[in-house]
Amino acid sequence: MVRLNKIYTRTGDDGTTGLGSGERRLKSDLRVEACGTIDEANACIGIARTHTASAHPAVDAMLGRIQNDLFDLGADLAVPDTGKPLDYEPLRIAASQVERLEHDIDLLNKDLQPLRSFVLNGGSPAAAALHLARTVARRAERVMVALAQDPAEHVNREGMKYINRVSDLLFVAARTLNDKGAADVLWVPGQNR
């Protein structure tokens, strides 16, 4: 159980923060950036849920599970696999979490109108908020990919798959909340020339 009694500790005043392993890293470190961007995506989903709770309870339930899983992903990233033994079993994103997302994506996507153009970010307030969350999740994925390129770092492959699927789910969820795609705002190439 997590217990937070004191919110400020002053330990980060020197520009560092502690990973779950106890190691201190600069707040500008790529691993810390990945954790922070996952947190941003989670916050964006929280904003979207202020619209989805009444608009589409099934999508809202999916988003609630994703928010919890994104904390799991942050915990996964916060304890790098260094190959050294730990006193505990670190939390890692599992293949079952990725599979659940794929199931949810398929469930939502089966009722959507086929796309004939790219979708502009917008439509209903819920869809617009989900599109914002999707773009932040994609940024988190790019940061995780950059982190994984460093030979000294390790990123869980299931975590990489998970964040990729999150943005896919957010896209189909946005379309679902845009009247199953009927209210999507479509890109018209060269429309304003």
Q: Tell me the three state secondary structure of residue 85.
A: coil
* pLDDT tens, residue by residue, 134-172: 999 999 999 999 999 999 999 999 999 999 999 999 999
Q: What is the CATH number of the domain that holds 52?
A: 1.20.1200.10
Q: Is there a domain that residue 177 lies in?
A: yes
Q: Is there a domain that residue 6 lies in?
A: no
Domain that holds residue 41: 24-80+90-183
What is the total count of domains within the chain? Answer: 1
Q: Is there a domain that residue 119 lies in?
A: yes
- How far from 104 is each of 58, 61, 77, CA to CA, in Å? 10, 11, 24
Name the nearest CA neighbour of 74 among 43, 105, 99, 103: 43
| pLDDT given at position 154 | 92
Instruction: Please give the single-letter amino acid code of residue 155.
Output: V
Angle, CA 29 vertex, CA 24 and CA 33 arms, to 5°: 115
Hey, which residues does 120 pair with through a beta bridge?
185
* pLDDT tens, residue by residue, 109-131: 999 988 888 999 999 999 999 99
Q: Is there a domain that residue 55 lies in?
A: yes
Q: Is there a domain that residue 2 lies in?
A: no
Residues 164 and 105 sit within 8 Å (Cβ to Cβ): no
- How far from 183 is each of 10, 44, 60, 170, 189, CA to CA, in Å? 49, 22, 19, 16, 18
Q: Is there a domain that residue 159 lies in?
A: yes
pTM (2 decimals)?
0.90
Q: Is there a domain that residue 4 lies in?
A: no
In which band, very low, low, confident or very high, does the pLDDT at 3 lie, cut at 50, 70 and 90? Answer: low
Residues 162 and 105 sit within 8 Å (Cβ to Cβ): no
* pLDDT tens, residue by residue, 42-78: 999 999 999 999 999 999 999 999 999 999 999 999 9
Q: What is the CA radius of gyration of the chain?
A: 18
Q: Is there a domain that residue 134 lies in?
A: yes
